[in-house]
Structure 1
Amino acid sequence: MDSNTVSVGEFEFQCGETIDDLELAYETYGDFTGDNAVLVCHALTGSAHVASRGRFEEGDQAYAWWDDIVGPGKAIDTTEYFVVCVNVPGSCYGSSGPSSTNPETGEPYGPDFPPVTVADWTEAQRRVLDELGVPALYAVVGGSVGGMNVLEWAKRHPDHVEKIVPIAAAGRLDPQCLALDGIARRAITTDENWQGGHYYDGPEPDQGLALARQIGHVMYFSKSSMERRFGRRAATREAERAFPTDPAGRFFPYRDVESYLDYNASKFVERFDANSYLYLTRAMDNYDLASGFEGDADALAAFDGAALVMSFTGDWHFTSDQSEALADALRATDTPVAHHVVDSDYGHDAFLVEPDNVGPPLADFLEVGLDGSAISDTEESDEEPSDFAPVHNSLFSS
């Protein structure tokens, strides 16, 4: 594994703003042989540290986020493929973002950092690949908003990609997810410590960021997985409330699910920047595959490779119906495609925590294409799309 930061020089963002020196953190795994490069696109709060499990120094992402998928002998086999993962602009894991130092002022950019989009991520990744001497990619793979990043590669650089694998992703977010992300951002911007984004020399908006993360975390579970994992149990006596409660609240139990969310939120604020959370969620919310085109199929029409779309039945963040619509758009352009639906009630994070479900079809697709024995396609099934719709397609369903 090689971990580096590279300056790609002046960079113009989609919004029209420019910074003179865009720095991008990236990691590579394996050896480049000319036609074996696989770009892995990380999810919302991920980093370039995709594999080789281990701890970094405090303040970095604690664990490699896809170590069960990327590595020697794994689904993305680093003895066969040259794997690249780039931390996207706007993040806080080594690439330029709001917490980076603005060379013109010597202070953190804060809210003066340019707004970022998924298109900016894609162009930044293209610049890193240029620095590495990688003209084209064998495959681009990513989950969640990383899957949107994959789609943007097929849209913007169709001649540079042979295979795409968007996992638990869609061409755009639905209104329910947009609403919840909006509430999460308000949790940050209404924290008195946010100070309009200029908080780096004082207390940080930890409470707002913690609440934002908790909202996001609930979006990643299905109803049944939360019932199975937490139920209505009270937390252990050792658990301490992370947030103040009203006097009457002391009469009622502090529940296990609350304790879990509080614990994970407290860990998250130690490693992530609140402004970056604002920037990256807006990039995800703004993404629309069809932007600039008549529709999704038109946006993907120039891509002449093959695609494996993967979804999970319990995922209501990016539903199987949305993935099927994406597969239909690819079919409309005569792109060889399979939509592999995983029967899982875990929720959106299944693509991270269920490697036994993700690995085999992914490995088959990379090795032999759509004829892999582990790959199934909904188009070949007699079931209608509604038959594989998510079990819990709404946070508020009963």
Structure 2
Amino acid sequence: MSVAVDRDVRDLGEFRFDCGESVPSLAVAYEAYGEFDGDNAILVCHALTGSQNVATHRSGRGAADDADTIDAPHDPAGQAGAWWNDIVGPGKAVDTTEYYVVCANVPGSCYGTSGPASEAPDGEPWGTDFPPVTVGDWTRAQRRLLDDLGVGRLHAVVGGSVGGMNALDWAQRYPDDVRRVVPVAAAARLDPQCLGIDAVARRAITSDPNWNGGDYYGDEQDRPDQGLGLARQLGHVMYLSKASMADKFGRRSAVRGGSAGGELFPADPGAAFFPYRDVESYLDYQAESFVDRFDANSYLYLTRAMDDYDLAEGYESDAAALGAFEGEALLLSFTGDWHFTTEQSEALAEAFRESEVPVAHHVVDSDHGHDAFLVEPERVGPPLRDFLSEGVEGKAVSDTAEDDEDVGGSEYAPVHNSLFSG
């Protein structure tokens, strides 16, 4: 089954960021799937290093189906290409034969939307002269893009990880413009542990001699690849759970060879004597593949945006921030995720309840950590599909807690009913 695909970059003209600085021209790269009927638009918000390529496509405009090739390899944690292909597409949970699905690369990124690596008015890359960006800037840029595409009110906004924060920002910033929001593996703000890990990741980049204050675009051989690779390795550790790492790697030794860990991370003293473990090999491979496709300055900008986000900023509480939203919400969280925990999602669900917003919190029992929202489509798809179609009354959304007053009946649908009722 084929669907129409619009893959393009729109110039939205002058754009003023939350920091007060402006760019004369903001380019936003996007992909749109399906046909718009005036009432069926869904915005999908990508995670930290994701792209607008949420599903498979052919290069340029045309038809897309399950046999299409993609321009970038599928990297579940990195989300380079077709990062939610098991969720978005014909007949899938976000059905592109029924909905008009738009995904836009956010400002500050490096997949076609304006960011540090983009050309500034002087013809050179912006580097760190590009204005600091916020999640609110992402939302306002998406609103401008949708206006340009002729899309008014959205049927839903769906996002995972920091994309879930982006979805929350839609409910707060444009409460009349969206009927349903779905923050997946997300929270109202980062906790101090994650803030600290992000700070170390940024310092890995800025302490790389090749970072050069963000001015490294002249020679690919002089990029801060080692710092960016270390930052990405920290991210991967954060995305996995103890159980998933134990199952995937254990303490097994790996065979040295190939490029993994070779050029980017030379052998340390004693490396010839001590084992090179599977987990090291995995992290080295992920680092080397990541530096080939992502910009170090963009990583600095996007992690800062994620760290800065706080739903309650300017309000007395999260509930007050959501007070004007009159739609419905579905929260999806995963028991093995310590980046954005089930407890954080439940606190967010309670804020929706306090605002009298119909909400379901669906907890998935998973050992996959934060990556679960990407690698377990069979657990994410059913409640998402039913919520998009039926709201919180959807069977897969609400039937696991239908008689449990302690957890709010259909307002809260955990796999483990006792998880928050004690």
| Range of TM-score over shorter length | over 0.9
Deviation at 1:63, TM superposition (A): 2.6
- Which residue of the other structure, out of 224, 234, 247, is the alignment partner of 1:215? 234
- Which residue of the other structure, out of 38, 41, 44, is the alignment partner of 1:37? 41
Deviation at 1:162, TM superposition (A): 0.2
Tell me if structure 1 keeps the 8 A contact 2:108–2:302. Answer: yes
Counterpart position of 1:101: 119
Deviation at 1:207, TM superposition (A): 0.4
Equivalent position amino acid for 1:154 in 2? A
Deviation at 1:61, TM superposition (A): 7.0
Deviation at 1:236, TM superposition (A): 2.3
State the distance in 2 between where 1:266 and 1:302 align. Answer: 45
- Which residue of the other structure, out of 128, 139, 146, is the alignment partner of 1:122? 139
Task: Give yes or no for the alignment of 1:278 onto 2:295.
Answer: no
Task: Give yes or no for the alignment of 1:259 onto 2:281.
Answer: yes
Q: How does 1:54-133 map to 2 (within 5 A)?
A: 54-56=69-71, 62-103=80-121, 105-133=122-150
- Which residue of the other structure, out of 12, 15, 22, is the alignment partner of 1:8? 12
State the distance in 1 between where 2:182 and 2:297 align. Answer: 29
State the distance in 1 between where 2:72 and 2:391 align. Answer: 39
List per-residue Cα deviations over 1:259-295 (Å, max 9, x = no partner): 0010011000000000000000000000000001001
- Which residue of the other structure, out of 210, 225, 229, is the alignment partner of 2:248? 229
| Cα distance change, pair 62–168 in 1 and its aligned pair in 2 (3 A) | closer
Counterpart position of 1:391: none
Task: Give yes or no for the alignment of 1:171 onto 2:188.
Answer: yes
SS in 2 for 1:108: coil
Equivalent position amino acid for 1:218 in 2? V
Tell me if structure 1 keeps the 8 A contact 2:138–2:166. Answer: yes
Task: Give yes or no for the alignment of 1:323 onto 2:345.
Answer: yes
Tell me if structure 2 keeps the 8 A contact 1:308–1:338. Answer: yes
Counterpart position of 2:60: none
Deviation at 1:57, TM superposition (A): 6.6
Tell me if structure 1 keeps the 8 A contact 2:187–2:340. Answer: yes
Counterpart position of 2:266: 244
Tell me if structure 2 keeps the 8 A contact 1:338–1:379. Answer: no
SS in 2 for 1:348: helix
List per-residue Cα deviations over 1:229-285 (Å, max 9, x = no partner): 000000124455331233223210000000001001100000000000000000000
Q: Which runs of 5+ in 2 are unaligned?
A: 58-68, 402-406
Deviation at 1:56, TM superposition (A): 1.4
Task: Give yes or no for the alignment of 1:362 onto 2:384.
Answer: yes
State the distance in 2 between where 1:247 and 1:17 align. Answer: 47
Q: Which runs of 5+ in 1 are unaligned?
A: 388-398
State the distance in 2 between where 1:248 and 1:328 align. Answer: 52
TM-score by length of 2: 0.89
Of stretches 48-57 and 36-45 in structure 1, the one that deviates more from structure 2 is 48-57
State the distance in 1 between where 2:128 and 2:182 align. Answer: 33
Deviation at 1:371, TM superposition (A): 1.6
TM-score by length of 1: 0.94
State the distance in 2 between where 1:332 and 1:305 align. Answer: 14
State the distance in 2 between where 1:207 and 1:386 align. Answer: 46
Counterpart position of 1:183: 200
Tell me if structure 1 keeps the 8 A contact 2:202–2:231. Answer: yes
Equivalent position amino acid for 2:418 in 1? E
Deviation at 1:145, TM superposition (A): 0.1
Counterpart position of 2:175: 158
- Which residue of the other structure, out of 211, 223, 228, is the alignment partner of 1:194? 211
List 4+ stretches of structure 1 deviating above 6 A: none
Counterpart position of 1:385: 420
Deviation at 1:386, TM superposition (A): 7.4
Counterpart position of 1:314: 336
SS in 1 for 2:360: strand
Counterpart position of 2:54: 50
Tell me if structure 2 keeps the 8 A contact 1:15–1:115. Answer: yes
List per-residue Cα deviations over 1:330-378 (Å, max 9, x = no partner): 0001100010000001000100110000000000001111122211455
Task: Give yes or no for the alignment of 1:20 onto 2:24.
Answer: yes
State the distance in 2 between where 1:66 and 1:99 align. Answer: 25
State the distance in 1 between where 2:156 and 2:204 align. Answer: 37
CA RMSD of aligned residues (A): 1.6
Equivalent position amino acid for 1:113 in 2? F
| Cα distance change, pair 175–192 in 1 and its aligned pair in 2 (3 A) | same
List per-residue Cα deviations over 1:81-112 (Å, max 9, x = no partner): 00000100000000000000002x11000000
SS in 1 for 2:86: coil
Tell me if structure 2 keeps the 8 A contact 1:49–1:85. Answer: yes
**What's the % identity of the aligned pairs?**
66
Tell me if structure 2 keeps the 8 A contact 1:61–1:271. Answer: no
State the distance in 1 between where 2:261 and 2:240 align. Answer: 22
State the distance in 1 between where 2:72 and 2:182 align. Answer: 32
Deviation at 1:127, TM superposition (A): 0.3
SS in 2 for 1:119: helix
Tell me if structure 2 keeps the 8 A contact 1:24–1:88. Answer: yes
Aligned pair count reads 385
State the distance in 2 between where 1:70 and 1:57 align. Answer: 17
